[in-house]
Amino acid sequence: MTYQSINPNDGTLQKSFEHMGNAQLDVALATAERCFQTWKHTGYAERAAVLKKAAALLHAHVDDFARLETLEMGKRIAEARGEVKFSGDILAYYAEHAESFLAPTQLHPATGAAHMESSPMGLLFCVEPWNFPYYQLARVAGPQLMAGNVLVVKHAGCVPQCAMAFEKLLLDAGAPVGAYTNLLISYDQSDRVIDDPRVRGVALTGSVAAGRSVAARAGQNLKRSTMELGGSDAFIVLDDADLDKTMPWAVWGRMYNAGQTCCAAKRFIVLDAVADAFLARFKTALDALKPGDPMDEQTTLGPLSTEAALLQLLGQVDAAVKGGARVLLGGQRIARPGWFMQPTILTDIAPGNPAYRDEFFGPVASFYRVKTEDDAIALANDSDFGLAGSVWTQDEARGRRLASRVDTGMMFVNNIDWTDATLPFGGIKHSGYGRELGRMGIQEFVNKKLVRSGAIAAPG
């Protein structure tokens, strides 16, 4: 049994679900493929009506969707509400803009006429993580349904009710059966889906390990894929940073969603001149967070999603300490029911310590003191990941110059306002490839077809 809702606040099992059998899976794929044959011919207006309705339903039932997510993966209720609303905004954004994003573009060859047109590729398989149970689904469903593709989706094992709620949302909004199908399947069945000739593309958001496995399988089948994987983002504080403005973002950047965000600030790289002041204030702010029921509006530190995630994080902290790191704050499980971990700051992390390279997916901050901005850039780039990062300075032009030197898919200067329906999201190196959101996100799984016309004489 791998699909289980367990309340991370107290460890109680809410519901369990069996995997679907292979026969049921085959029916789901056949239904999706049949749906594609009609969905691809529907107009943008008809598709947009479904997505606008789904967006309106999310906004009308924010609390219901949010409570389910807080129950299944422990997100604090105010954050969950924000995610639900934003998921609706993403669906509405693509409903509004898909037609213009995919409009034919004229080319200008020396002879004849030519244009590029965009047509849907077909049935797509999406594998999604639990940390944003709706937003991750909206990021693929919004653009891909508007592009005329249909989706079968494997969501994470710990959020089956959110997965089903999103499928129901689209059906309630008028999507035809087969346009979006939630699959409760095993990894072997996931391979089977990737191998299926009806499936034309694969999108995964998750860990590097999952990315390697799923991308390899897609590659064997010569299928297009996008990979949104982990990160170990640098938060670079320059000597002229305004700490009053920087500190709230430092705390939010590490602790939002209990630290379980791919593009969270994970490595705090601070120039010597402000390092002591930054560290003292950061420690005080993290220490002040209050663990509690994530349903309670007063709680400022929620649980981790699963006990396995908590144990993994505690093991990583132990390994870091064995490797010579110092625990400046926290480092322990919190003595109460549920999957709570103390806000933690690690310092003295030398290259060679596993903490130097690994991603901490929870409330653990790594602190590094550096002498110069060149040292900061070198350290930021000494990473297998390349998702995002940020630079903090009162000189915005200097911040932008440094941002250009960091090898990641996204950089932020004096904010980490990570995600916006209009802006592309994604990374390089082990953080993956491809982009979701914005104009780019809808181009990933469409056939960009060249059509050249004109009676050009054959070469003699």
260/393 with CB nearer ligand NAP: 260
Minimum gap (Å) between residue 287 Cβ and ligand NAP? 25
CA separation for the pair 32, 122 (Å, rounded)? 9
DSSP track, 280-341:
HHHHHHHHT--B--TTSTT-SB---S-HHHHHHHHHHHHHHHHTT-EEEE--SB-SSSSS-B
Known catalytic membership, residue 297: no
Nearest to 197, CA basis, from 227, 225, 222, 176: 222
Tell the smallest beta-carbon distance from residue 421 to ligand NAP (Å): 14
State yes or no: residue 363 binds ligand NAP (CB under 6 A): no
Minimum distance of ligand NAP from residue 309's CB (angstroms): 7
Q: What angle do CA 385, 389, 393 make, to 5 degrees?
A: 150
Min separation Cβ 438 and ligand NAP, Å: 13
Q: How far is the CB of 323 from ligand NAP (least distance, A)?
A: 21
99 tagged catalytic: no
Contact 99, 175 (CB under 8 A): no
Instruction: Determine, following the binding rule CB under 6 A, whether residue 225 of this chain makes contact with ligand NAP.
Output: no
Which residue in 35, 126, 162, 262 is the catalytic one?
262
Nearest residue to ligand NAP, by Cβ distance, number only = 206
What span, in angstroms and rounded, lies between the C-alpha atoms of 158 and 307? Answer: 11
Taking the complex as a whole, the smallest distance from the CB of residue 181 to ligand NAP amounts, in Å, to: 15
Pick the closer one to ligand NAP by CB: 210 or 349: 210
- Does 181 bind ligand NAP (CB under 6 A)? Our answer is no
What token pair was written down for 276?
């002591």
Question: Contact letters (x/-) for ligand NAP, 400-439, by CB under 6 A?
Answer: ---------------------------x------------
Residue 129 binding ligand NAP, by CB under 6 A: yes
How is residue 128 written in tokens? 């999604």
In whole angstroms, how close is the CB of 380 to ligand NAP at the nearest point?
Answer: 17
Q: Among residues 20 and 156, whose Cβ is nearest to ligand NAP? A: 156
**Taking CB under 6 A as the rule, does residue 187 contact ligand NAP?**
yes
Residue 359 carries which DSSP code?
-
From the list 33, 83, 128, 228, the catalytic residue is 228
169 CB-near residues (< 8 Å, 6+ apart): 54, 57, 58
Give the binding range for ligand NAP (CB under 6 A) out of 70-78, 208-216, 250-258, 331-339: 208-216
Question: Could you tell me the end-to-end alpha-carbon distance of the chain, in angstroms, rounded to an integer?
Answer: 68
> By C-beta, is 389 or 427 nearer to ligand NAP?
427
Q: Which is nearer to ligand NAP, 131 or 408 (CB)?
A: 131
Taking the complex as a whole, the smallest distance from the CB of residue 128 to ligand NAP amounts, in Å, to 6
Q: Quick one: which segment of 56-64, 80-88, 126-134, 444-452 binds ligand NAP (CB under 6 A)? A: 126-134
- Dist. CA 156–CA 92, nearest whole Å: 25
# residues contacting ligand NAP (CB under 6 A) = 27
Build a one-symbol-per-residue string for 140-159: x at contacts with ligand NAP by CB under 6 A, - elsewhere. Answer: --------------xxxx--
Rounded CA-CA distance 321/346 in Å is 9
Helix (H, G, I), strand (E, B) or coil at 436: strand
Q: Tokens in use for 431?
A: 């953080």
- Smallest CA-to-CA distance from 134 within 54, 217, 191, 193 is with 54
- Binding ligand NAP (rule: CB under 6 A), the pick from 124, 218, 251, 262 is 262
Tokens found for residue 202: 């694969």
Is 213 a binding residue for ligand NAP by CB under 6 A? The answer is: yes
Return the closest-CA partner of residue 398 out of 417, 374, 381. 374
Gap between the Cα atoms of 249 and 262, Å rounded? 16
Determine the interface stretch with ligand NAP among 42-50, 105-113, 225-233, 268-276 (rule: CB under 6 A): 225-233
Residue 32 makes contact with ligand NAP by CB under 6 A: no
Is 361 near ligand NAP (CB under 6 A)?
yes
Measured CA to CA, the distance from residue 306 to residue 201 in angstroms comes to: 30
The residues that bridge with 123 in the sheet, in sequence order, are 150, 199
Measured in degrees and rounded to the nearest 5, phi and psi for residue 205 equal -120, 125
Q: Packing angle between helix 62-73 and helix 160-172, nearest 10 degrees?
A: 160
Binding site for ligand NAP (CB under 6 A): 2, 127-131, 154-157, 187, 190, 205-207, 210, 213-214, 228-231, 262, 359, 361, 387, 427
- Residues noted as catalytic: 228, 262
